Structure 1
Amino acid sequence: MLLGRRRSLCSLFGLSSDSMSLPRRRQIRTLALLFCVITFTTFLFSYTLRDPSLDFFKYASRLSDNLFFSSGGPCACRRRCMTEAEDDPWFAERFNRSVRPLMTRENSVLSDDTFKWWQWLQSERQPANFSEVVDQLFRVVPDEVQYVDAGPKRCRSCSVVGNSGNLKGAHYGGLIDSCDLVIRMNQAPTAGYEEDVGARTTHHVMYPESAVDLDNGTSLVLVPFKTLDLQWIISALTTGTITHTYTPVASRIKANKDKVLIYNPTFFKYVYESWLEGHGRYPSTGFLSLMLAVHICDEVTVFGFGADQYGNWHHYWEENTLSGAFRHTGVHDADHEYNVTLQLAEKHKIQLFRGR
Structure 2
Amino acid sequence: MTLKSAKTWILRLLPVVLFFICYYCSQFYFESYGGSGKSPRPTVSLCNTYRMKRKWDSLKLNMSRKTELFLKLEDFFWREHLSSEALPYGFKGSELLLLKVLAETLSYTMPANIESSLDCRTCAVIGNSFSIKNSSLGEIINKYNVVVRLNDAPVRGYEMDVGNKTTLRLFYPESASYNPYVHNEPDTLQVLVPFKEHDLRWLKEILYDEKRVRKGFWKPPPQFWLGRASQIRVLDPYFLRITASKLLQIPLQPRRQQKPVHPTTGILAVFVALNYCDVVHVAGFGYPEFRNQKQPIHYYGKETMRSMKNSYHDLNREALVLKRLEDQGAILYLHPHS
TM over 0.5: yes
Task: State which of 181, 192, 201 in structure 2 corresponds to 1:231.
Answer: 201
Alignment partners' CA distance in 2, 1:64 and 1:339: 25
Greater alpha carbon shift after TM alignment, 218-227 vs 279-288: 279-288
2:65 corresponding residue in structure 1: 97
Partner of 2:161: 196
2:297 to 294, 314, 338: 314
Q: What is the aligned counterpart of 1:265 among 234, 237, 240?
A: 237
1:134 to 85, 90, 98: 98
Normalised by the size of structure 2, how large is the TM-score? Answer: 0.72
Give unpaired runs (5+ residues) of structure 1.
1-33, 42-54, 66-75, 121-126
Q: Is the 8 A contact 1:218 1:256 kept in 2?
A: no
Please tell me whether the aligned partners of residues 183 and 203 of structure 1 are also in contact (alpha carbons under 8 angstroms): yes
> 1:327-338 alignment to 2 at 5 Å?
327-338=308-319
* CA distance in 1 between partners of 2:118 and 2:297 (Å): 40
Q: Which residue of 2 aligns with 1:275?
A: 247
Cα offsets for 1:165-204 (capped at 9, x unmatched): 1111111111111111111111211111111111111211
Structure 2 residue 225 is matched with structure 1 residue 253: yes
| Larger deviation, residues 55-64 vs 193-202 | 55-64
* Displacement of 1:275: 0.6
Which of 60, 85, 98 is matched with 2:23 structurally? 60
* Cα deviation digits, residues 94-142 of structure 1 (max 9, x gap): 553248432113445665531276489xxxxxx9x62221221121112
After superposition, give the CA deviation of every residue in 1:239-295 in whole Å (9 maximum; x if it has no partner). Answer: 052252324221221222111111112322121101110176110011111111111
Instruction: Check conservation: 1:208, 1:249, Cα contact below 8 A.
Output: yes
CA displacement at 1:313 relative to structure 2: 5.6
Change beyond 3 A, Cα 1:102–1:79: same
CA–CA separation in structure 1 for the residues paired with 2:87 and 2:194? 14
Say whether the 8 Å CA contact 1:157–1:298 is kept in structure 2.
yes
After TM superposition, give the deviation of residue 231 of structure 1 in Å: 2.0
SS in 2 for 1:84: helix
Matched residues in 1 for 2:117 and 2:156: separation?
37
Name the aligned partner's letter for residue 96 of structure 1.
Answer: S
CA distance in 1, matches of 2:223, 2:117: 44
Q: What amino acid does structure 2 have at the position aligned with 1:208?
A: P
The one of 119, 135, 144 equivalent to 2:108 is 144
Q: Which has the higher relative contact order, 1 or 2, with Cα contacts under 8 A spaced 6 or more apart?
A: 2
**Could you list the runs of 5+ residues in structure 2 that have no partner in the other structure?**
1-7, 29-42, 252-259
Conserved in 2, the CA contact under 8 Å of 1:294 and 1:300?
Answer: yes
- Following the alignment from structure 1 to structure 2, what is the Cα–Cα distance between the partners of residues 273 and 145? 26
What residue in structure 2 maps to residue 284 of structure 1?
264
RMSD: 3.9
Distance 1:186 1:277 in 2: 24
TM-score normalised by L of structure 1: 0.69
> What are the Cα deviations for residues 53-87 of structure 1, in whole angstroms up to 9, with x where unaligned?
xx96444347999xxxxxxxxxx931145863445
Q: Alpha carbons of 1:354 and 1:95: their partners in 2 closer, same or farther (altered >3 Å)? A: farther
**Cα shift at 1:355:** 5.2
Which of 182, 186, 209 pairs up with 2:147? Answer: 182
Give the whole-Å Cα distance in 2 for the aligned partners of 1:346 and 1:272: 20
Q: Is the 8 A contact 2:129 2:284 kept in 1?
A: yes
Q: Contact (CA 8 Å) 2:70, 2:108: kept in 1 or not?
A: no
Which string of whole-angstrom CA distances, capped at 9 and with x for unpartnered residues, describes residues 178-234 of structure 1? 111111111211111111111111211100111012223211000001222112112
Measure how far apart 1:304 and its partner are.
0.3
Secondary structure of the residue aligned to 2:281 is strand
The structure that has the greater radius of gyration is: 1
Change (3 A) 1:221 1:308: same
